[in-house]
Structures are given as C-alpha cells and as structure tokens.
C-alpha cells in the first residue's frame, strides 16, 4: 500500500501506531451503526487485543519492536523478511530476453522498464503499426527521463536498441519470460496464454499483469501451469516500484524464484500474495473508493470535501475522486464487479452512482468528465 498507493505507512503499521484495541473499538461502533459486514472487526483484532499485543507502545502488535514505545522493527518469525531475503536460493532460471504482449500504456511501460534494465525486449502487438506506436511512446518517456537528468542520452539509446517489435507472438519463441499486458478480458487472456503455450520454449516463464482476475484461469489454459505466475505492475510502470507476485497453487518454486530475481534486476519491490480476486492493493483500495462514492450518493459529503479529508487527514497523495477519474470509472466499476462476484459480500456491490456515470459515458479524464470536468488533450 505504500508503494502501490503512495501512503505514508501500510495499514498494519498504522494499526500498530493507533492501537489494535482502539481500532477494534472504532470498528465495533461503525458496525453497530451500519450493520455493514465490511465494518465488522476481523477476529484477529480481538485475538491480538486479548493477548495484549496491541501496539508499538506495547512492543508487539502486528510487528515486533525493539522495545515498548520504539518504532524500530525487529525481525522474528512473525515479522516479514526483507524482499531480498525472500528469494529462494538457487532454482531460478536465467532471464535475458523478455517478450511483452500488448501495445497499450501498461505494455509500453513494462517494455521500457525491462529495456532500461538491460534486458532484450520483444514487443508484440496485433499489428506492426500498434507495436511501433508503443515504441514511440517508450522513446518519448525515456526522453523525458533524460530531460530531467535521471538518464543519460547514451543509456536512452542503448535501451531503445534493445527493443524489437513484432505483429505475432511467434516472435516469443526464444524469450525466457513472456509478459501478457492486454485488455482485462478473461477470454482474451486465456486465448493469448494458449498461444504462448504453443510458441514459447520449454521452461519459459509465462506471466500475466492482470490487476483483478485470478491467475489460475490463465495457468489452466496451458499445458504447463507450473510456469504461469502473476506479475502485477502498477501504472505508470517506469515510476512505480511495486510488483505484486501472484503465485497459484500450481506455480513451481523455480518460476516463483525466477520472477523474484527478475524484480530485483529491474529494481522493483516484489510482494507475494495469493491468487484471489484483486490481490492486495486493489482488494483494499477499491472498496474504499466505492465507499467514497456511496458517501456522495447519500449526500453525506461532497467529492471536494472527501478528497480534502483523505489527503490532509489520511495522508493519501490523491483523494478518492481524483483517483477514480485518473484510473477510469469504467475500470473501477469492472474491478468492483470482480470483487463482488468473488466474495459475494453485499457491501462490495458497486455503488449505483458509479454504474450510472459509466452508463452515461462519464469515465474520468479520458472522456473529459467523471466526477469532475477535465480538459481533453
């Protein structure tokens, strides 16, 4: 949540700061007023409270601290290891060439990340024209890094020289890692993975950048589900440090170790998560966004006041309505529907106001109007 959403601290660290017992009391009051299951405190909060493991002031909450009142973390069996220590020793496969399937913003951003990190990249789109437009986008992005003094002109030229384009996945025959970055449509993704299964060499890692759909559906579309894994990059891929590494029940140890090693090579921070709808960030973020829409829908507060409250009070870099307009209301609605379908919790049902705006074509910045008016470039 720090690297994916820009928060000053993650939710568990914040709970340790304010107190697990305090948070539980607040949630109990919210649930008593709303009867919304999303407000019901998780059982673990009660268990930690009963055990006296309530906050950093006590020396132990969700994390262990050097001493009561300290904010210095101590590694132990319950405290997660640093990411570099979490890569399995040995067993990973060497990755030199990477194939990126897609031509949109995310695909070009991922291709840029790999090329700038020294990997040979094959970018395949439905046509050479689409692939070349994606490469032009990469060139422009790298040029901006040069203008800011964060990249040399020589490094930009070297990165561009590492990228080749193709209009067919057949070009992935020799890649060590194939990354799918196409539309968030399960049928489309399954067909693409069937093709990757046919064209990619044995042992190649097949990764999906899906943001909300379970990865196992892609794995089962192939004859080698152990080679399939999720690598959820965040937009814009060149600037954001987080990658959610999504391991299915069939993903092999070697595939997992390879992706962790690749993340280190491209200077991204990997977090492991289970294969369930929306993974970590979106599973936490989008119910929050949906609740903000419900507040406006019920005339509880205005979008401007809610955005100001969450930026100044919650430390978010953007308020929920600013973020919704950037992400796209259609994309947000689709993720909300996936969450609701997966967990079947009434509290996760998309707010009717969000559905109405999408039906009206008010999708955010890309259409010039969402929760606010926007200039269209």
| pTM, rounded to two decimals | 0.82
* Average pLDDT over every residue of 287-313: 96
Cβ-contact 215, 184 below 8 angstroms: no
Encode pLDDT of 355-368 as tens digits.
999 999 999 998 99
* Same-domain pairing of 111 and 191: yes
288 and 270 in a common domain? no
Confidence class for position 37, pLDDT limits 50, 70, 90:
confident
Query: 90 pLDDT exceeds 70?
Result: no
Burial class (CB in 10 A: 0-12, 13-18, 19+), 311: middle
375 located within any domain: no
250 neighbors 228 (Cβ within 8 angstroms): yes
Where a domain ends, among 61, 80, 99? 80
- At 287, which CATH number? 1.10.1040.10
Domain range enclosing 52: 2-80
The enclosing domain of 210 has a CATH number of 3.40.50.720
Q: Give the mean model confidence (pLDDT) for residues 133-147.
A: 96
- Kindly state whether residue 306 falls inside one of the protein's structural domains: yes
Q: pLDDT averaged over the chain?
A: 91
Between residues 314 and 48, the one the model is more confident about: 314
- Are 198 and 304 members of one domain? no
pLDDT in tens, 257-270: 999 999 999 999 99
CB 181 within 8 A of CB 134: no
Cβ 110 vs Cβ 181: under 8 Å: yes
For the beta sheet containing 242-247, the strands, ordered from the edge strand earlier in sequence to the opposite edge, are: 163-166, 120-124, 97-101, 177-180, 205-208, 228-233, 242-247, 269-274
257 with 302, same domain: the answer is: no
Residues 104 and 167 in one domain: yes
pLDDT of residue 276: 87
pLDDT score of 83: 46
Give phi and psi for 100, each to the nearest 5. -120, 120
The answer to whether residue 286 sits within a structural domain is yes
Predicted local distance difference test score (pLDDT) of residue 80: 52
Query: pLDDT-derived band of residue 84, with 50, 70 and 90 as boundaries?
Result: very low
Using CA atoms, how far apart are residues 130 and 296, in angstroms rounded to an integer?
Answer: 40
pLDDT at 312 over 80: yes
Task: Indicate whether 89 pLDDT > 50.
Answer: no
For residue 54, the model assigns a pLDDT of 76
Residue 66, pLDDT score: 80
pLDDT average, residue stretch 95-115: 96
Give the mean model confidence (pLDDT) for residues 226-255. Answer: 94
Positions annotated as catalytic residues are: 211, 232, 244, 282
Q: How confident is the model at residue 164 (pLDDT cuts 50, 70, 90)?
A: very high
DSSP H or E stretch at residue 154: helix 153-161
Q: How many Cβ atoms from other residues are within 10 Å of residue 56's Cβ?
A: 25
* pLDDT reading at 288 higher than 80: yes
What pLDDT score does 255 carry? Answer: 97
Q: Assess whether pLDDT exceeds 70 at residue 77.
A: no
50 and 117 in a single domain? The answer is: no
Residue 135 lies in a domain: yes
Angstrom CA distances, 278 to 105, 210, 225, 232, 290, stand at 20, 9, 20, 10, 14
Which of 274, 291, 322 represents a domain boundary (last residue)?
274
Q: Residue 86: its pLDDT value, please?
A: 45
Structural domain count of the chain? 3
């Amino acid at each position: 949540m720090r690297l994916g959403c820009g928060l000053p601290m993650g939710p568990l660290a914040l709970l340790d700061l304010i107190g697990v017992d305090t948070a539980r009391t607040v949630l109990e009051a919210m649930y008593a007023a709303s009867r919304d299951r999303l407000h019901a405190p998780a059982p673990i909060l009660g268990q930690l409270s009963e055990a006296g493991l309530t906050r950093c002031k006590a020396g132990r909450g969700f994390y262990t601290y050097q001493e009561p009142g300290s904010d210095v973390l101590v590694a132990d069996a319950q405290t997660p290891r640093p990411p570099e220590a979490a890569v399995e020793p040995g067993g990973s496969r060497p990755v030199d060439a990477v194939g990126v399937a897609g031509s949109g913003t995310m695909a070009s951003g991922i291709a840029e990340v790999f090329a700038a990190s020294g990997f040979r990249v094959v970018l395949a789109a439905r046509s050479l024209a689409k692939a070349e437009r994606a490469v032009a986008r990469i060139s422009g992005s790298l040029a901006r890094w040069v203008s800011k003094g964060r990249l040399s002109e020589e490094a930009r030229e070297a990165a561009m020289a590492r990228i080749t384009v193709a209009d067919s996945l057949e070009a992935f025959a020799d890649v060590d890692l194939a990354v799918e970055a196409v539309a968030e449509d399960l049928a489309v993704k399954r067909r693409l993975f069937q093709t990757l299964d046919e064209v990619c060499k044995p042992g190649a890692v097949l990764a999906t950048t899906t943001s909300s759909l379970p990865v196992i559906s892609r794995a089962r579309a192939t004859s080698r589900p152990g080679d399939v894994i999720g690598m959820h990059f965040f937009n814009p891929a060149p600037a954001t440090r987080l990658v959610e590494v999504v391991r299915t029940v069939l993903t092999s140890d070697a595939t997992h170790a390879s992706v962790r090693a690749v993340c280190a090579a491209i200077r991204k921070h990997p977090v492991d998560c289970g294969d369930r709808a929306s993974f970590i960030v979106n599973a936490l973020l989008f119910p929050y966004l949906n609740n903000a829409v419900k507040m406006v829908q019920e005339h509880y507060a205005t979008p401007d006041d809610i955005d100001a409250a969450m930026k100044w009070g919650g430390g978010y870099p953007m308020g929920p309505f600013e973020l919704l307009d950037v992400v796209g209301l259609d994309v947000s609605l689709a993720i909300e529907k996936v969450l609701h379908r997966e967990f079947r919790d009434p509290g996760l049902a998309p707010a009717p106001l969000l559905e109405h705006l999408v039906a009206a074509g008010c999708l955010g910045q890309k259409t010039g109007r969402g929760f606010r008016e926007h200039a269209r470039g």
